[in-house]
Structure 1
């Protein structure tokens, strides 16, 4: 089946945010967060990094990640294992999807599928933007499990992948 972009039309907050994080744990194996060089980390984001350290898979300098291309700067892209432990940390430190911004947290939470490592969900937090790269069938399954997501997500008609 062909994948398409399904954009978030409202920011997932509270229980909706938690439902997306919990669901990602069922179908994804990893997630990434970005640390911009142009912003300092505060005590909260430093504590987050300490808690996430056991889940760290990779850390590399990048100028590109899902949803973002930097023209002049680079950032530190960290990829982490997604499991019950890291999910608890993601829910502990944020109550909404676009809350993932420096200096208080890291940026641009992104989830990668268990099956093929492809992007499942990406965010551009400072632009209050997020989207899913999923098939129509995957979208239907999400709506069956979480009917209220219909208010938060819609298909981008011109963005088939």
Structure 2
């Protein structure tokens, strides 16, 4: 995996989501519990935000680590996993105009994309980096 500090924005962001949609079957994002002033209200906000794609929700896990982050001190986060298809791809493009725009409070954090449980892209928006499979990144650059 390559680690990049370049934000992907605008039409490039939409192009990246399209390429990820061709190569991945699932995406996820994170809601860190320690950032929630009121957990129920925040989870309701996320449910409202994702109303159009709730039928594509695969699972929600409580985790202390994921591709870009390992939380210490017993902290945990909700990680929401969704099918990646035309509907959810459009959702990702409608809700944001950039890979690093995925962060609290407007949106969940740390978009991740998977193919058969293998992560091909994992963002860490609030720290301004993402990791990406080299072959997928080359496909993006050549498109």
Structure 2: how far apart are the matches of 1:97 and 1:139? Answer: 14
| 2:48 paired with 1:52 | no
Structure 2: how far apart are the matches of 1:59 and 1:46? Answer: 12
How large is the Cα RMSD of the aligned pairs? 1.9
Q: Deviations over 1:94-146 (max 9, x none)?
A: 01001111111111000002xx32000001111011120334xx44433322x
Bigger helix fraction: 2
Alignment check: 8 A CA contact 1:124 1:130 kept: yes
Structure 2: how far apart are the matches of 1:110 and 1:96? Answer: 14
**Residue 119 of structure 1: aligned partner:** 119
Offset at 1:90?
A: 0.5
TM-score w.r.t. the length of structure 1 is 0.77
| 2:88 paired with 1:94 | no
Structure 2: how far apart are the matches of 1:52 and 1:103? Answer: 20
Residues 93/42 of structure 1: CA separation in 2 closer, same or farther (3 Å cut): farther
**Residue 21 of structure 1: aligned partner:** 17
Offset at 1:39?
A: 2.5
**Residue 103 of structure 1: aligned partner:** 105
Matches within 5 A, 1:56-71: 56-71=57-72
**Residue 155 of structure 1: aligned partner:** none
Where structure 1 has 5 or more consecutive residues not aligned to the other structure, the ranges are 146-161
Offset at 1:54?
A: 1.2
TM-score w.r.t. the length of structure 2 is 0.86
Where structure 2 has 5 or more consecutive residues not aligned to the other structure, the ranges are 37-41
**Residue 39 of structure 2: aligned partner:** none
Alignment check: 8 A CA contact 2:25 2:83 kept: yes
Alignment check: 8 A CA contact 1:42 1:104 kept: no
Equivalent position to 2:2, from 1, 6, 14: 6
Equivalent position to 1:82, from 84, 87, 91: 84
Bigger strand fraction: 1
Provide the secondary structure at the position in 2 that maps to 1:71.
coil
